[in-house]
């Protein structure tokens, strides 16, 4: 099973970073993509995942995404993720 390269958790909210191989000018490079989820137990007590967030969970999702972004930038600066290209940040 594929595992994330980095994971950040705040309460029941987490963000995971995944390697994504793409082709740029005929050259294969790796980028990192983030997913965010909220874990909860359903009425039967089974753990479930959701991509929707309530008022009190939104700051947790923001925190997880900010920490994930910091990890991507630090990885690029330190050269830990060989081949990862920088992605443009839109205005």
Confidence of residue 84 (pLDDT cuts 50, 70, 90): low
Indicate whether 21 belongs to any domain. Answer: yes
Question: How far is it, in rounded angstroms, from Cα 91 to Cα 82?
Answer: 27
The 3-state DSSP class for residue 51 equals coil
Indicate whether 91 belongs to any domain. Answer: no
Q: Measured in Å, how far apart are the chain's first and last C-alpha atoms?
A: 36
Indicate whether 55 belongs to any domain. Answer: yes
- Can you read off the two tokens belonging to residue 86? 């920088």
Nearest partner of 16 among 40, 2, 37, 43, judged by Cα = 37
Number of domains within the chain: 1
Write out the residue range of the structural domain in which residue 21 sits: 6-78
Indicate whether 13 belongs to any domain. Answer: yes
- Residue range 36-82, pLDDT digits in tens: 999 999 999 999 999 999 999 999 999 999 999 999 998 888 775 54
Question: How far is it, in rounded angstroms, from Cα 14 to Cα 19?
Answer: 17
């Amino acid at each position: 099973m594929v595992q994330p390269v980095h994971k950040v958790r705040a309460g029941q909210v987490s963000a995971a970073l995944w390697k994504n191989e793409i082709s740029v000018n005929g050259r294969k490079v790796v980028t990192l993509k983030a997913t965010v989820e909220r874990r909860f137990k359903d009425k039967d007590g089974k753990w479930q995942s959701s991509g929707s967030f309530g008022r009190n969970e939104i700051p947790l999702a923001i925190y997880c995404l900010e920490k994930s972004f910091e990890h991507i930038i630090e990885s690029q600066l330190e050269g830990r993720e060989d081949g990862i290209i920088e992605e443009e940040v839109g205005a």
